[in-house]
Amino acid sequence: MKKIELLAPAGDLEKLKIAVDYGADAVYFGGEMFGLRSGAKNFTVEEIQEGVSYAHDRGKKVHMTVNIFAHNEDITELEQYLHRIKEISIDAFIVSDPGVMMAIRAVMPEAEIHLSTQANMTNYRTAEFWGKQGVKRIVLARELTFGEIKELREKLPEDMELESFIQGAMCISYSGRCLLSNFMIERDANRGECAHPCRWKYHLVEEQRPGEYFPVEEDERGTYILNSRDLCMIEHIPDLIQSGLASLKIEGRMKSIFYVATVVGAYRRAIDAYYADPEGYVFNPDWLNELKKVSHREFTTGFYYNQPTNKDQNYQTSAYTRDYTFVGLVKSYDHETGMAVVEQRNKMRLGDEIEVFGPFTDYFAQKIEILLDEENQPIEAAPHPQQIVKIRMKQPVAEKYMLRKQK
């Protein structure tokens, strides 16, 4: 049985390295232009080279998003950009626009092409069309059920791979093809600038009564009529693996390293547990609890089992649940003294109860009983961003372990 790929988001170079170290089989990222996440830091050409080398040295793959819907003024600049990166050994390009696909083929004839979810691929005839254009993998539209995915797998050539999202934000529009942001504030979602107006608060206003706001539901706060819950499929690993998918994709190139580490780590443990004993596999609730410790909305299984209903929307709020705060990243550890050098990411104090976790490990809890500054002087708190401190650890840790505390 070929093991399914766990594909993680990388909004910048630090996140790419964290995703690889915490167990991703592959990562996807965007360059400084032509991806659909202009709000992420994204990668310079030099960072692309470094990130690809870092992943390849560890046996992991790197996919690059070039999935905007290009306008005429984009084409020349796109072709120039492709020439700048053509010597970098990127494993695949994620593309939605046929013109962009042609441009990549012209510059890099042997490049592997993956069809972006933005292309709305929902049936095997369309998949056959894209296969004839040389597409190696289809990133499925989020609107497909398990039944439809299995039928696709049965009807398509074995060498055409299927990839699907399993975790992260859901779009109210069809596979992300949304014009709402463009219409309301002239930021084009299909060129990487979505303002997420689907998360805004809405009231009903009658034309002859300006200023009178009628709640769409019986709630004085208004209603978030377009606000979907977040996708979460960690409780359904056997169904995902048995569906014929080749890759399981986590959404979130604009999320933090804390988010990437936590989500990748939870899915890594769940997937590995299944392959270790498919017949005796039992879901561990701790994996879901881990996902609830990062910023998230309430969860849904999206379209996998049925058409979503009003239970898959959240009409009360678009706010995230944030029960835990990421407070520190371990830079080094001294086994003799048990002291860890930690880069502060949010304020922590002497006496705080924290949880500590790392790649391929369960977390452990402890109190901060010894807190020192860089000169080994005792301090009461670490309030400054990226302040370097030293903390006595109850158990051994290593570089890139993370500290969190409950709010």
pLDDT in tens, 354-373: 999 999 999 999 999 999 99
Strands (E), 116-220: 135-139, 161-168, 204-205, 213-214
Give the chain's mean pLDDT: 89
Q: Is the pLDDT of residue 233 over 80?
A: yes
Instruction: Quote the CA–CA distance of 60 and 47 in Å, as a whole number.
Output: 16
| 146-164 pLDDT per residue, tens | 999 999 999 999 999 999 9
What CATH number should be reported for the domain holding residue 359? 2.40.30.10
78: nearest Cα among 63, 97, 91: 97
pLDDT reported for residue 133: 95
For a pLDDT cut of 90, what percent of the chain falls above it? 71
Do 32 and 136 have their domain in common? yes
What is the CATH number for 89?
3.20.20.380
* Nearest partner of 251 among 93, 117, 137, judged by Cα: 117
**HSE-CB of 201 using CA atoms within 13 angstroms:** 11
Query: Domain range holding 344?
Result: 324-406
pLDDT of residue 226: 63
Is the domain of 252 the same as that of 401? no
Structure tokens at 298: 């309430």
Q: Is residue 136 part of a domain?
A: yes
pLDDT of residue 207: 78
Would residue 157 count as lying in a domain?
A: yes
Domain membership of residue 252 (yes or no) is: yes
Say how far apart CA 170 and CA 116 lie, in whole Å.
15
Q: Into how many domains does the chain fold? A: 2
Query: What's residue 191's pLDDT?
Result: 59
- Of the listed ranges 9-18, 101-110, 208-217, the one predicted with least confidence: 208-217
Biggest CA–CA distance in the chain, Å, is 76
Question: What is the H or E stretch that residue 392 is in?
Answer: strand 388-392
**Mind listing the pLDDT tens digit for each residue in 312-354?**
555 555 566 789 999 999 999 999 999 999 999 999 999 999 9
Do 270 and 334 lie in one domain? The reply is: no
Q: What is the pLDDT of residue 316?
A: 56
Higher pLDDT pick, 210 / 329: 329
pLDDT exceeds 80 at position 203: no
Report pLDDT for 300: 87
Which of 7-16, 305-314, 367-376 shows the lowest per-residue confidence on average (mean pLDDT)?
A: 305-314
pLDDT at 117 over 70: yes
What average pLDDT does the segment 31-59 reach? 84
In sequence order, what are the residues at sequence separation of 6 or more whose Cβ sits closer than 8 angstroms to the Cβ of residue 218?
A: none
CB atoms < 10 A from the CB of 76, how many? 10
Judgement on whether residues 133 and 32 belong to the same structural domain of the protein: yes
Q: Does residue 114 carry a pLDDT above 70?
A: yes
- Burial of residue 80, with CB atoms counted within 10 A of its CB: 0-12 exposed, 13-18 middle, 19 or more buried: exposed
Q: Are 75 and 39 part of one and the same domain?
A: yes
Work out the average pLDDT over 176-201: 68
Task: Grade residue 196 by pLDDT with cuts at 50, 70 and 90.
Answer: confident
Q: Tell me if 205 is assigned to some domain.
A: no
User: 157 with 256, same domain?
Assistant: yes
* Residues 378, 390: Cα–Cα separation, whole Å: 9
Q: How confident is the model at residue 238 (pLDDT cuts 50, 70, 90)?
A: very high
Helix (H) or strand (E) holding 27: strand 26-30
Q: Is pLDDT at 235 greater than 70 in this prediction?
A: yes
Which residues have CB under 8 Å from 295's CB, separation 6+?
255, 256, 259, 320, 321, 322
- The 10s digit of each residue's pLDDT in 269-308 is 999 999 999 999 999 999 999 999 998 778 889 889 987 6
Residue 267 has pLDDT above 90, yes or no: yes
Q: Are residues 271 and 348 in the same domain?
A: no
Find the angle CA(19)-CA(66)-CA(260) to the nearest 5 degrees.
15
Confidence class for position 378, pLDDT limits 50, 70, 90: very high
Residue with tokens 């089989």: 25
In the predicted model, what is the mean pLDDT of residues 368-387?
Answer: 96
Higher pLDDT, 407 or 200: 407
Instruction: Give me the pLDDT at residue 218, please.
Output: 44
Q: Are residues 361 and 337 part of one domain?
A: yes
- Same domain as 289, residue 165: yes
The b/e string for 226-240 (b: 16+ C-beta within 10 A; e otherwise) is bbbbbbbbbebbebb
58 pLDDT above the threshold of 90: yes
Sequence-ordered alpha helix ranges (H) in 203-256: 237-242
Same domain, yes or no: 328 and 371 = yes
Give the rounded percent of residues in the chain with a pLDDT score beyond 70.
85
Residue among 85, 15, 21, 77 at smallest CA distance from 49? 85
H or E element in which residue 266 lies = helix 257-276
Indicate if 170 and 102 belong to the same structural domain: yes
| 300/344 same-domain check | no
Q: Which residues pair with 366 in a beta bridge?
A: 354
Q: Which conformational region is residue 302 in: left (phi greater than 0), alpha (psi within -120 to 50 degrees), or beta?
A: left
Return d(Cα 226, Cα 308) in angstroms, integer: 13
